[in-house]
Amino acid sequence: MVKFEGWEWMQMQCCGNLSPQAHYPPARRAVELESSETKVVLSVLGMTCAACAGSVEKAVKRLPGIQQAVVDVLNNKAQVLYSPQTVNEERIREAIEDAGFEAKVIEEESHDMSTQLCRIHVRGMTCTSCSSTIESVLQSLRGVHEARVALATEEAQVRYDPNILTHNHLISVIEETGFEPVLISTGEHITNIQLKIDGIKNEQCLNVIERSLHALPGVESIDIYPDTDKISITYKPYMTGPRTFIEVIESTGSGCFKATIFPNDGGREAQRQDEINRYSKLFIWSLAFTIPVFMTSMVLMYIPGVKHVLEIKVVNMLDIGLLLRCEFATPVQFVIGRRFYVGAYRALRKGFANMDVLIALGTNAAYFYSLYVVERAAFSRHFKGNDFFETSSMLISFILLGKYLEVLAKGKTSQAIAKLMDLTPDTATLLTQDDEGNVVSERQIDSRLIQKDDVIKVLPGAKVASDGFVIWGQSHVNESMITGEARPVAKRKGDMVIGGTVNENGVLHVKVTRVGSETALSQIVRLVESAQMAKAPVQKLADHISKYFVPLVIVLSLSTWLSWFLAGKFHAYPKSWIPSSMNSFELALQFGISVMVIACPCALGLATPTAVMVGTGVGATQGVLIKGGQALESAHKVNCIVFDKTGTLTVGKPVVVTTNLFKKMSLKDFYEFAAAAEVNSEHPIAKAIVEHAKKIIEEENHPWPEARDFVSVSGHGVKAIVLNKEIMVGNKKMMSDHNIAISVDAEETLAEAESLAQTGILVSLDGEIAGVLAVSDPLKPGAEEVISILNSMKIKSIMVTGDNWGTAKSIARQAGIETVMAESQPETKATKIKELQNSGYTVAMVGDGINDSPALVAADVGMAIGAGTDIAIEAADIVLMKSNLEDIITAIDLAKRTFTRIRLNYIWALGYNLLAIPIAAGVLYSSTRFRLPPWIAGAAMAASSLSVVCSSLLLKNYKRPRKLNKLEINGIKIE
């Protein structure tokens, strides 16, 4: 819960948890992790801010045997990972109480709070009816908290209680629904790796290896594939890793086994490529059989010599041409078109109708009528009839072509994720060090073999292989591919580096802190994937329509056929309307089939998710992480933005500019007391005071006197006992609450500081004002211009801060903000936002601190500045990675562009069906003799889905508003 301040955090900003889920997974009271580690969750009362959380965390971490301590100030909880042989729960509880807080072990948390995330790739979905059905089936399962199924990404994300369900159960349910599920992952912080093992002689060898690996701490599950000598291991990356697995395997069996990392199959991209190849092969085979059918029915019959051969009778009226068409059309209908039968059967068995049902009905009507013609011709000497074999075979071919092109196009919508995933280098240089930190040896390894606490060497021009911190060397690192930061960031000993960024100059030795799914890059990818899975509220319209669309189309198709058939039967239209090659029944049948196949719910179902996929992907490349369709939909309506001050409108790194003493004491003694109290606080002003004290005392690592009875008063300041004196450091409100008189001189000093947009901090010793510190936190470069642009967009800007009124008004005046709320508590910020919402505003909140989290959640759109805390980032809907205010405009503009594209997609998808169905039904036939043959209707149906996807892909050309190009941020002109 540490708040990283200002630009320093640009070196660490992606290392926090960017996922929209809770900061740590809920757990029961104590869960046995392994023989030497146990986890406990405690309720901690009395915490009010980040300083409190930091105090609790430090108190716990001082104890021996503590592996990890995470404090959640918003939920008043602490989660501790510890060694039971060294420390126990009671000792941990006492340590927290010694720090001044109430603590108790949570005996039993609700069963429903235990949550696990499962991601499943689902093959076989053809339209939004399929995704809606799977979603409703999964939601109905006991133990499922949430299920989301995305047609565009062909993925299901299920949050479920692992105590009630397993991922295998979820997979079997999807299979029973009639689709092909492939497991992607079973947990958010679990990594999977596949190893190839040479030297396996029999199944017993694999069993020995499996037992050896299961004995390792952190191994979750092991899957063995004897046919390929492959082993798949799911594990917790912070406890073990692939190099350990390889060492265990190779030491098993007296060294007769050799393990290597399995060639990367590309994951989802490989599955997508398989799907592209499958549709490509199906289309080519379909085309190979369809061309002869088309030629014999449409072309060769007009060539005199060939026509004579085709009309040679085989049996009665059955000629060679009809027999050839039947033989070539049959494999297309039942072998190549089998997927449509399977899909239709599965859908109907579960009580819903999808696009496969329409295709199967349409092609079967044409095929089996043609088969009837063949049978009549074979057994009659006088029968004359026309077949529609070319209709069914060409229809299937065009639909397969459309699907092939659609899969190709959909693959491009997720290119942003593919580009992010490709940032990690293939290899890394692993260093071996002795006890004194000297490098003993180095070797090249696959980057997937990196484990936590490894030391890796990063050469100039090379990519950093994993997240960590610099332990030797200095350089500049280009982080633009992750954060969007325009200029390289200086790195030296102790600075954090992000996996996937590029080392510009100088050699760095980096100690790895995060691997696998824990890395910043993985978390960004997961956040973008999660955003692409999330449905925008506007998509509910498509889901609702899809429930009734296919049954309605079937009714319309049958009605069209019946109307034309009866009209022909009772001579309601002249015989001249009937083409010479068919009769009234066949004409009616063609109209009915055309209606059935031209109506496409696919385009409707793809309208929103494809646009959201491209929009969120483009946002990620611009340094704006948008957490899904809901955030996009709300952001495009924003007409009021509430800004936090410190770290949002201002640089966020305050510095002490003046000190006025009102008591006879040296400056060093004054700062000795002030820093001793403030060193326990994580507030930006507290850090500024401590840093300034170091300069006064001229010692970087000066040991401050112990502060007893430390208390942080949220929004006001801190108090403690230092060297047997009661010291308070805070604002006027804190002093008046403790009945401490403020002299006229001190009042004048405060007023002067406030007039200069500085924050005045009072320091009291034993109930008397000892001095006043003036702390300055300058306005961010470009802030005034951003507010001006927002005003031109008719978006109201409001500043809300916990700082005093004088400083707040001065900063607001500099920024060009008219409405100000100062001296606001966290809950006051949230209340103000609700008041604005009640007044009819769609409100966005921009903040960076823990105290902004309630307001971020209360707002219609929460925007977290990238330099903010983990809690703020988790509470937000949009994360501005670069910490630049102009990205607020980019986020709103991108949301507007995306929703304009969604509206266009809907207009096209709905308009297409509203126009196409009447034309296919023959509305224009009476006046123009224009009709759509079924195969052309099939091509048009495929084109509609493709056009919607291509429409969404146009968002990839998004350019941020031109008015931002003239801004100067951090002294760099943005071009």
**Integer CA distances (angstroms), 201 to 130, 250, 495, in order:** 45, 15, 49
| Strands 717-722, 796-800: pairing kind | unpaired
Length of the chain: 975
Distance CA 497, CA 491 (A): 8
Tokens of 296: 């014999």
Q: Are 710 and 100 in contact (CB under 8 A)?
A: yes
Angle between helices 128-139 and 167-177 (to 10 degrees): 140
Angstrom distances, CA of residue 684 to CA of 13, 244, 652, 689, 700: 17, 42, 7, 9, 18
Decide: helix, strand or coil at residue 157. Answer: strand
Give Cβ neighbours of residue 954 (< 8 Å, ≥ 6 apart).
901
CB 534 within 8 A of CB 629: yes
Integer Cα distance of 170 and 75 in angstroms = 31
Burial group, residue 230, by CB count within 10 angstroms (0-12, 13-18, 19+): middle
The closest of 273, 612, 626 to 418, measured between CA atoms, is 273
Q: How far apart are CA 678 and CA 683, in angstroms?
A: 9
Residue 659: which of 734, 770, 808 has the closest Cα? 770
What letter represents residue 763's amino acid?
A: V
Tell me the three state secondary structure of residue 413: helix
Burial of 11 (0-12, 13-18, 19+ CB in 10 A): buried
644 is catalytic: yes
Cβ atoms of 416 and 456 within 8 Å: the answer is no
Cβ neighbours of 298 (radius 10 Å) = 11
Q: What is the DSSP string of 821-850?
A: E-S--HHHHHHHHHHHHHTT--EEEEE-SG
C-alpha closest to that of 231 among 218, 212, 217: 212
Tell me the C-alpha distance between 636 and 537, whole Å. 13
Report residue 316: phi and psi, to 5°. 50, -115
How far apart (Å, rounded) are the C-alpha atoms in residues 895 and 792?
18
Q: Looking at this protein, which amino acid is placed at residue 134?
A: I
φ/ψ of 630, rounded to 5, equals: -60, -45
What gap in Å lies between CA 357 and CA 344, rounded to an integer?
5
| Catalytic one of 72, 387, 543, 644 | 644
- Structure tokens that stand for 641 in this block: 């933005």
Planar angle of CA 579, 583, 586, nearest 5 degrees:
100
Q: State the Cα–Cα distance between residues 609 and 413, nearest whole angstrom.
A: 10
Written as six digits, the tokens of 27 are 């757990």
CA distances from 173 to 113, 134, 168, 835 (A): 23, 9, 9, 46
* Burial class of residue 787 in the structure, from the number of CB atoms within 10 Å of its CB (0-12 exposed, 13-18 middle, 19+ buried): buried
Q: 840 is written with which tokens?
A: 């009819």
Q: Is the Cβ–Cβ distance between 847 and 650 less than 8 Å?
A: no
Question: Residue 280 class from Cβ within 10 Å (0-12 exposed, 13-18 middle, 19+ buried)?
Answer: middle
User: Quick one: how far is CA 58 from the chain centroid?
Assistant: 32
Angle at 623 between CA 621 and CA 627, to 5 degrees: 90
Cβ distance 310 to 321 under 8 Å?
yes
- Residues marked as catalytic: 644
